């Protein structure tokens, strides 16, 4: 079993829980920073993130996982989180990685983590490559889907149907809202809703884009295809695939996706 | 008329299979869904079908069938039984 280092990274006036998986080979092939998805999706995908990190470490990559502000075991409550603070966390995490290694950097995101990876790239001194796992294409659309959790739980308990309208009013009045057990500040909601999965300007690199589908032989969704073309037009080399795997970030039981792990490593090894 | 009826029946069967596959995935039913009939109760009868699972189900239905569901269309009755869910999707597809 791979060794790993667990530590708290000081950031501003708090600290973030980090796990570093050092490369288990004599030659270091690359450095990878994992950026987790939003709210409950983070908890559901914790196991897959760890499995993939270990497998990457065994294949010669140094992998850092960070719990963003208000998430997991980092300091702060979820209601303290903002998109800007999360961007700052990623920049700090990259700086920590850079003290350890000078190997080429890849930002690996899952769902909203992909949005954050692409959005933060302009703040970095270097040009990272990206791994996107089932990327969220639009923060606005994601936020609308997330608010549905509130509405559905109210509809299911027989309440009136204006839950989303109430949430919007609360946010507009500057108050945090509670959805599925997470208190979300108006700044986070606003920050998230502004972000699209756009290619960073002046930052050309390579993208491994893995859409996840539970069925055999499915192609890329037309919306993904369209977005990939935009990244290609911006100069990125995009290696896009559909991988057969359960939607482990939302399934009821924690699921493994061994094929996704294998495809990810193979795609990363073929970069450069 | 008869031809149209049998076409609709065929469509309902396809929808049912697709919904069962989605339910199986989201709720980790491990094939338990194979024994479900139109009258099988869902909401309140399957403990795994909580609000997070219902949202995942709605989003997946939208992605797989290519329609969008407005917030005011979401009603507990839609998820009462497998049959009511099939009817709802069929209504969206033939609207």
pLDDT in tens, A164-178: 888 889 999 999 999
Of the segments A108-122, A208-222, B42-56, which one has the largest average pLDDT value? A108-122
* Angstrom distance (rounded) from CA A13 to CA A252: 36
For residue A269 the two structure tokens come to 């090894």
A169-193: average pLDDT: 94
Chain B residues whose beta carbon lies within 8 Å of the beta carbon of residue A180: 51-52
Tell me which residue range forms the domain holding B55.
2-94
Of the segments A160-174, A220-234, B55-69, which one has the largest average pLDDT value? A220-234
- CB-based contacts of B86, cutoff 8 Å, min separation 6: B12, B15, B16, B19, B38
For residue B61 the two structure tokens come to 């239905």
Nearest to A250 among B26, B43, B76 (CB): B26
Nearest to B59 among A40, A145, A158 (CB): A145
* Angstrom distance (rounded) from CA B17 to CA B22: 9
Residue A183 in 3-state DSSP?
Answer: strand
Residues 109-148 of A with CB under 8 A from B: 145, 148
Residue with tokens 């950026």: A35
How many angstroms separate the first and last alpha carbons of chain B?
18
* Angstrom distance (rounded) from CA A25 to CA B33: 45
* Angstrom distance (rounded) from CA A27 to CA A25: 5
Residues 30-59 of A with CB under 8 A from B: 40
Q: pLDDT-based confidence at B88, cuts 50/70/90?
A: very high
**What pLDDT is recorded for position A214?**
76
**B5 touches A: beta carbon within 8 Å:** no
Cα torsion A256, A259, A262, A266: sign: negative
Residues B28 and B72 sit within 8 Å (Cβ to Cβ): no
Judged against a pLDDT cut of 70, whether residue A59 lies above it is answered with yes
Nearest to A180 among B26, B27, B52 (CB): B52
Count CB neighbours of A213 within 10 A. Answer: 19
Q: What is chain B's mean pLDDT, rounded?
A: 87
Q: Which CATH architecture has domain A5-137+196-269?
A: 3-Layer(aba) Sandwich (3.40)
A176-A73-A63 Cα angle (round to 5): 120
* Angstrom distance (rounded) from CA A37 to CA A80: 17
Chain A residues whose beta carbon lies within 8 Å of the beta carbon of residue B53: 252
Count CB neighbours of B10 within 10 A. Answer: 10
Of A119-128, B14-23, B69-78, which gets the smallest average pLDDT?
B69-78
Half-sphere exposure of B48 (CA within 13 A, CB side): 17
Domain count across chain B: 1
* Angstrom distance (rounded) from CA B18 to CA B30: 15
Residue with tokens 């209504």: B91
Residues A148 and B71 sit within 8 Å (Cβ to Cβ): yes
The residue of B47, B59, B71 whose CB has the most chain A CBs within 10 angstroms, and thus the best one to mutate to test that interface, is: B71
**What pLDDT is recorded for position A2?**
59
For A46, which DSSP code? H
Report the CATH number that the domain containing residue B68 is assigned in CATH.
1.10.1200.10
* Angstrom distance (rounded) from CA A183 to CA A189: 11
Residues A144 and A167 sit within 8 Å (Cβ to Cβ): no
A36-55: average pLDDT: 96
Judged against a pLDDT cut of 70, whether residue A159 lies above it is answered with no
Q: What is chain A's mean pLDDT, rounded?
A: 92
ipTM associated with this complex? 0.70
Give the helix/strand (H/E) hosting A105: strand A105-110
How many angstroms separate the first and last alpha carbons of chain A?
29
Annotated domain spans of chain A:
5-137+196-269, 139-195
For residue A15 the two structure tokens come to 């600290």
Tens of pLDDT, residues B30-50 = 888 889 999 999 998 998 898
The residue of A155, A168, A216, A222 whose CB has the most chain B CBs within 10 angstroms, and thus the best one to mutate to test that interface, is: A155
């Amino acid at each position: 079993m791979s060794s790993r280092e667990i530590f708290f990274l000081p950031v501003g006036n708090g600290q973030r829980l980090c796990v570093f998986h050092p490369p288990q080979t004599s030659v270091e092939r690359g450095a990878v920073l994992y950026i987790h998805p939003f709210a409950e999706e983070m908890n559901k995908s914790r196991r897959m993130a760890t499995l993939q990190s270990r497998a990457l470490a065994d294949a010669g990559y140094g992998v850092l996982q960070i719990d963003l502000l208000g998430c997991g075991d980092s300091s702060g409550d979820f209601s303290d989180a903002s998109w800007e603070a999360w961007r700052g966390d990623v920049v700090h995490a990259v700086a920590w990685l850079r003290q350890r290694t000078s190997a080429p950097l890849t930002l690996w995101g899952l769902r909203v983590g992909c949005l954050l990876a692409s959005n933060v790239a302009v703040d970095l001194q270097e040009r990272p490559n990206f791994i996107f796992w089932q990327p969220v294409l639009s923060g606005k659309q994601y936020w609308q889907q997330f608010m549905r959790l509130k509405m559905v739980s109210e509809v299911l308990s027989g309440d009136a149907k204006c839950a989303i309208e109430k949430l919007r009013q609360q946010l507009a009045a500057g108050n945090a809202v509670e959805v599925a057990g997470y208190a979300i500040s108006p700044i986070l909601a606003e920050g998230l809703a502004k972000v699209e999965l756009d290619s960073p300007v002046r930052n050309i690199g390579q993208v491994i884009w893995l859409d996840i589908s539970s069925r055999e032989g499915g192609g890329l969704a037309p919306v993904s295809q369209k977005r990939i073309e935009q990244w290609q037009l911006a100069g990125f080399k995009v290696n896009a695939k559909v991988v057969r795997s359960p939607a482990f970030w939302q399934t009821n039981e924690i699921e493994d996706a061994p094929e996704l792990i294998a495809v990810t490593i193979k795609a990363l090894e073929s970069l450069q | 008329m008869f031809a149209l009826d049998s076409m609709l029946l065929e469509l309902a069967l396809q929808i049912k299979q697709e919904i069962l596959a989605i339910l199986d995935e989201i709720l980790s039913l491990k094939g338990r869904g194979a024994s479900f009939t139109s009258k099988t109760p869902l909401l309140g009868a399957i403990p795994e079908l909580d609000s997070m699972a219902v949202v995942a189900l709605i989003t997946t239905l939208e992605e797989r069938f290519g329609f969008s569901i407005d917030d005011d269309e979401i009603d507990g009755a839609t998820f009462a039984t497998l049959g009511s869910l099939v009817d709802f999707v069929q209504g969206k597809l033939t609207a």
